[in-house]
Amino acid sequence: MSFRTQSATPVAARRGRLVAAALLGGTAVASLVAHGHGNMMTSTAVLVATSGSSVSGTLKFHEAQDRVVHIRGTVEGLAPGKHGFHIHVNGNCDSPDGMSAGGHYAPAGGRHGAPDAKERHMGDLGNIVADASGRAEVDVTVQGITIALMGTASVGDRSIVIHAAEDDFSDPAGNSGARVACGVIESDMMRM
Ligand SMILES: [Cu+2]
Ligand SMILES: [Zn+2]
């Protein structure tokens, strides 16, 4: 967890700038950020392969109700079978091994767990399942997070990481192995 501490300052600064940009970016954007009109809020994570991996994909985040986020998309280039996937704390996929994304997003703490477990990190999403051709369809609904850039459970400008192995839900990180792809969760409003 020392890594998270080291990276906290620059990431916090970047988040602050993004929020400021959102608030200054015009009436429509400011109103969406301030009021969190759920059905208008979408984000996208473009998954980029880490070094030695050929995993790619795109995940769309849609917050239809406040703090109910639907994540949908396709991931390709995987080994067949289950792969852990989580929201990680830093919106930074720059390092070749994906470690720049930091640890699991866990603003309320807790032990690592299954998505439906009583105790879990907020970013614990379970596993995706790749078919024989290495393709996984992702279609999950996550309660208790928001894609808004502000708030105590904001996953905006954080990252989503796909792992080489199955998440077995053991603490601290589910034994899910190397990071094979990483994507920053970016608001679609910021991309326009
Ligand atoms: Cu992870
Ligand atoms: Zn976790």
**Percent of the chain whose predicted confidence (pLDDT) is above 90:** 74
Cα of 163 from ligand 1 centre, angstroms:
6
Over the stretch 68-104, which tens digit does the pLDDT of each residue have? 999 999 999 999 999 999 999 999 999 999 999 999 9
Q: Is 62 a catalytic residue?
A: no
**Domains defined along the chain, listed by start:** 2-191 (2.60.40.200)
Cα–ligand 2 centroid distance for 119 (angstroms):
10
User: 143 - beta bridge partners?
Assistant: 68
Catalytic residue check, 163? yes
What is the whole-number distance in angstroms between the Cα of residue 41 and the centre of ligand 2? 25
Ion ligand 1 — residues with CB under 5 Å?
86, 161
Confidence band, pLDDT 50/70/90 cuts, at residue 5: very low
Amino acid identity at 96 = P
- SS (HEC) of the chain: CHHHHHHHHHHHHHHHHHHHHHHHCCHHHHHHHHHCCHHHCEEEEEEEECCCCCCEEEEEEEEEECCEEEEEEEEECCCCEEEEEEEECCCCCCCCCCHHHCCECCCCCCCCCCCCCCCCCCCEEEEEEECCCCCEEEEEEEECCECCCCCCCECCCCEEEEECCCCCCCCCCCCCCCEEEEEEEEEHHHHC
pLDDT digits (tens, 9 = 90+) for 106-139: 999 999 999 999 999 999 999 999 999 999 999 9
Arithmetic mean of pLDDT, 9-32: 48
Terminus-to-terminus CA distance in the chain, angstroms?
Answer: 35
